[in-house]
Amino acid sequence: MTRAARAVASPNVVCIDDFRPLAHLRLPRPVFDYLDGGADGEVTLRENCRVFDDVTFRPRHAVALSECDLRTHVLDFDISFPALLAPVGYSRLMHPDGEAGAARAAGLAGTGYILSTISGHRVEDVKAASSGPVCFQLYLMGGRAASEAIIERARIAGCSALVVTIDTPVAGLRERDFRNGMKELMSGSLLEKIPFLPQMIARPGWIVSFLRDGGLSKLPNVVIPGKGPMELVDVSAALASAAVTWNDLKWIRSLWPGPIVIKGVLTGEDARRAVDEGATVVGVSNHGGRQLDGVRASLRALPEVVAAVNGQAEIWMDGGVRRGSDIVKAVCLGARAVLCGRGYAYGLAAAGQAGVTRALEILRADVERTLRLLGCPSNRSVRPFVRGCARELAVGKTAISIQLSARSISVQHQSSDHRICHPERSCSFASEGAGESKDPYKRDELWFINVARVIARGL
């Protein structure tokens, strides 16, 4: 076991939250606050985590399980459990292992990694580092010519999907970054940097590793024609001209022949538009509470998006995932898989690739333990095991409140109450207007869709 691995082994790190103080001890304040912080008053950032407390389980006891199957099929590949590593910009600032180390850890754990455009390692190197699937997350930085070039590089490198983030017309107001002088430290003059330098030199270990890694690097995946790789800039400057519109999706589709994930969806309307634009996956996300503060937690938006997508695309969700039980709750509410961002990034900051490996070990063990305690043999049959999560769902223009229970759903709308029973799980189940499906993912998704349709007819 390496020194880094020993530092994050039990009992030093037992859960994901144990990584956070270790990351705080190692990173300079501006880098830690970039990772840890959110937009404005950080209301959505906090709610993303807190909302999982509203969901409780209904276990089945005295059940003998010889094995527990965590495997999940996403896009056209299988992963070892229903979680992938989300794109985290500036990962190489957190640790020299950066994106390549995180992708390598993901591959060894049997899951996928999504590389951010704002990365310190070349897409070719990250893909080569991983034995698992790697997707590329696209920001339209540096102009269309630069974007066309990186889309082609991602295709040639063998990336499994293109992830298009749609919730960044501008960067959110990340107050911690302004207070810490992130802009000045990243791209300011020496005179502008001076007031903020004490925060950096307070972490000599990080300074040494940062300088050994070459210091501030350029963005190797954003190559501007005639100028070369784009200079490393703070996030506000990076996203200033990177807005994506629905019209851009047509252009992106013409360049990318593979699956497209549209990430940043929080409403049924945007979910349906994403499907219409050819999304293979709809990603329910509020950007980790880093964009518009005050929007719903991702978990609260999930049921509405599941109903709106109507089984026509996979659903991924990210935001606030810190435990394997959080992953199970998201799957219960309709997600095919979740994306984990800060959960592994704290580990990366604390111990590099070893920290990411440990984070994935913790999450996978959490998921298996949760399923066994529920008496559930597979994450593909877990949805009846959750209750106590009141949710709002839009059906046309009608707002309703849904209360999930073991095999039924109670619905309240004004003075009307409805109860819709879950179909027998051993039977195939068909949604109105759709063919029968024996796929457990599809069957449960169609259950949610039928709920919405029954309610729409009854109200």
Rounded-to-integer distance, Cα 347 and Cα 69, Å: 26
Pairing, β 390-395 against β 386-387: unpaired
Give every CB contact of residue 179 below 8 A, 6+ residues apart in sequence.
none
Residue-by-residue DSSP string for 6-40: HHTSTTT-SSGGGHHHHHHHHS-HHHHHHHH--ST
Tokens of 434: 């759709």
Count H helices and E strands in the chain, helices first: 21, 18
Rounded-to-integer distance, Cα 31 and Cα 359, Å: 20
Rounded-to-integer distance, Cα 117 and Cα 219, Å: 8
Q: Tens of pLDDT along 312-361? A: 999 999 999 999 999 999 999 999 999 999 999 999 999 999 999 999 99
CA 195 to mean position of chain CA atoms: 35
| Nearest in space to 351 (alpha carbons), one of 70, 50, 105, 59 | 105
Tokens of 164: 């298009």
Tokens of 189: 């003059």
Rounded-to-integer distance, Cα 148 and Cα 265, Å: 24
Strands across the sheet with 416-421, in order? 390-395, 398-404, 408-413, 416-421
Q: What integer pLDDT is reported at residue 197 of this predicted model? A: 87
How far does the chain reach from its first CA to its final CA, in angstroms? 61
Rounded-to-integer distance, Cα 104 and Cα 111, Å: 10
Task: Work out the mean pLDDT of the chain and round it to a whole number.
Answer: 86
| Nearest in space to 281 (alpha carbons), one of 312, 254, 315 | 315
Rounded-to-integer distance, Cα 429 and Cα 406, Å: 17
Q: Tens of pLDDT along 138-153? A: 999 888 999 999 999 9
**Contact between 87 and 163 (Cβ < 8 Å):** yes
**Contact between 102 and 135 (Cβ < 8 Å):** no
Cβ neighbours, 10 Å, residue 194: 12
Tokens of 146: 């630069």
Where is 230: in which H helix or E strand?
Answer: strand 228-230
Task: Specify the residue for token string 């999982």.
Answer: 52
**Contact between 291 and 187 (Cβ < 8 Å):** no
Rounded-to-integer distance, Cα 201 and Cα 208, Å: 10
Q: Is the peptide bond before 11 cis (omega within 30 degrees of 0)?
A: yes
- Whether 287 is a known active-site residue: answer yes
Rounded-to-integer distance, Cα 295 and Cα 301, Å: 9
Which of 24, 73, 95, 287 is an active site residue?
A: 287
Written as tens digits, the pLDDT of the chain (459 aa) is 899 999 999 999 999 999 999 999 999 999 999 999 999 999 999 999 999 999 999 898 998 888 899 999 999 999 999 999 999 999 999 999 999 999 999 999 999 999 999 999 999 999 999 999 999 999 998 889 999 999 999 999 999 999 999 999 989 999 999 999 988 888 878 888 888 889 888 999 999 999 999 988 899 999 999 999 998 877 677 777 778 999 999 999 999 999 999 999 999 999 999 999 999 999 999 999 999 999 999 999 999 999 999 899 999 999 999 999 999 999 999 999 999 999 999 999 999 999 999 999 999 999 999 999 999 988 877 766 675 444 433 333 333 344 444 344 444 444 344 444 443 333 222 333 444 455 555 555 555 556 555 544 444
Rounded-to-integer distance, Cα 344 and Cα 112, Å: 13
